[in-house]
Amino acid sequence: QVQLVESGGGLVQLGGSLRLSCAASGRTFSSYAMGWFRQAPGKEREFVAAISWSGGTITYADFVKGRFTISRDNAKNTVYLQMNSLKPEDTAVYYCAADQTGWGTSRQSAYDYWGQGTQVTVSS
């Protein structure tokens, strides 16, 4: 069992930056791939980024390439999402998720555990 707790969300202006963190409980964090997803009001949840268990494989959604960076610190049981050049369309609840296979994927159904989410609001 893995419990995930996101933090770091908030209100930021157009062009600003935020760093989201996702702290995981459990001794097996280093074996899980981790993903970030988001859900905007009235829209379906969508993939943002994923990182494999070792950090060696990273995948991004096209709309965040060059602006967002996913990383992990297995010693701290934490995955991060650095978000730069934020736009109003990035406004959403951001969720982290853990994938037991360890490889990471954009498919939501592959993830076994989910956090409660953290709100990110970008004002224009």
Per residue in 77-111, pLDDT (tens digit) is 999 999 999 999 999 999 999 999 888 899 999 99
Beta strands in 1-124 (DSSP E): 4-7, 10-13, 18-24, 33-39, 46-51, 58-60, 68-73, 78-83, 92-99, 113-114, 118-123
Query: Quick one: pLDDT band at residue 28, thresholds 50, 70, 90?
Result: confident
pLDDT at position 19: 98
Residue 98 sits at φ, ψ, to 5 deg, of: -120, 135
pLDDT at position 102: 83
Write the CB contacts of 108 (distance below 8 Å, at least 6 apart in sequence).
37, 45, 47, 97
pLDDT at position 27: 74
Query: Quick one: pLDDT band at residue 26, thresholds 50, 70, 90?
Result: confident
Q: What angle do CA 24, 84, 19 make, to 5 degrees?
A: 25
Strand, coil or helix: 57: coil
Per residue in 32-59, pLDDT (tens digit) is 999 999 999 999 999 999 999 999 999 9
